[in-house]
Amino acid sequence: MSTAASTSRTGSLVIAVDGTSGSGKSSTSRGVAERLGLRYLDTGAMFRAMTWWLLREGIDVRDEAAVAAAAGRPTIESGTDPLAPTIVVDGTDVSVAIRSDEVNAAVSPVSAVPEVRGRLLDLQREAIGEGGIVVEGRDIGSVVWPQAEVKVYLSADPDARAQRRTAEQGGTDVASTQQSLLERDRIDSGRATAPLTMAEGAVHVDSTHLTLAEVIDRIVALATGAERA
């Protein structure tokens, strides 16, 4: 299927990909976007960018009032090319910096602050615009864009997720990675504002025993089916 042909059929679709940490949302979403000729938005990178900025500014990320007061200050811009996604804060490309251990440890409490979520929600909806995009995150189908034509909840068993994330990061401590992933899921599932959940109407895809190509194929099939419908 050519990119031009795919885009003509799916150019206005919004594909929402939610799910647990380490389940393969980023690789899957980028692959689907590339296959269908769509844009791609990593909402998790936006929360990481906000966290990076707060840390750089010396703001206590566990002081909810301080985080809330500062949430409107940084300028955050997300590039939507699936082959080369970018995230820029106040003119600085932070695509690498937001993946640091320091940001990893702080992003969940920052993400739980309603003012942060509200600020980034506006940016996310602005980026989605008229569609033609694959959006990944934790609350896309439930909060950010509940009218998405295709909603997917991607998961995998904890051991598989930990193995993948450890390999991605070039580490060796799978047990520690698994503990970190499960803690993030616990925090994100239990927060009062926009918790991690499977959206109404979402299709659950368990990637534990699937290759990346197989997961991409499943979501592409859902997307092309939705367009025909």
What's residue 7's pLDDT? 41
Question: Residue 152: beta bridge partners?
Answer: 17, 203
Token readout for 59 is 């703001």
What's residue 176's pLDDT? 81
- List the domains of the chain with CATH numbers: 3-224 (3.40.50.300)
What's residue 11's pLDDT? 73
Percentage, residues of the chain above pLDDT 90? 66
What's residue 222's pLDDT? 95
Convert the pLDDT of each residue in 184-194 to its tens digit: 777 666 666 66
Q: How many CB atoms lie within 10 A of CB 147?
A: 9
What's residue 184's pLDDT? 72
Q: Is 74 exposed, middle or buried (0-12, 13-18, 19+ CB in 10 A)?
A: middle
Q: Is 28 exposed, middle or buried (0-12, 13-18, 19+ CB in 10 A)?
A: buried
Q: How confident is the model at residue 74 (pLDDT cuts 50, 70, 90)?
A: very high
pTM: 0.84
Q: Is the pLDDT of residue 37 over 50?
A: yes
* Average pLDDT in the chain: 88
Q: How many CB atoms lie within 10 A of CB 214?
A: 11
Beta strands per DSSP E along the chain = 14-19, 39-42, 76-78, 87-89, 92-93, 133-137, 150-155, 203-206
Token readout for 66 is 């301080």
Q: How confident is the model at residue 1 (pLDDT cuts 50, 70, 90)?
A: very low
**Mean predicted confidence (pLDDT) in 200-205:** 94
DSSP symbols for 206-221: E-TT--HHHHHHHHHH
What's residue 175's pLDDT? 82
Convert the pLDDT of each residue in 141-182 to its tens digit: 999 999 999 999 998 887 777 777 777 767 777 788 777 777
Q: Which residue has the higher pLDDT, 105 or 76?
A: 76
Q: How confident is the model at residue 122 (pLDDT cuts 50, 70, 90)?
A: very high
Q: Which residue has the higher pLDDT, 24 or 196?
A: 24
What's residue 145's pLDDT? 97
Q: Is the pLDDT of residue 229 over 80?
A: no
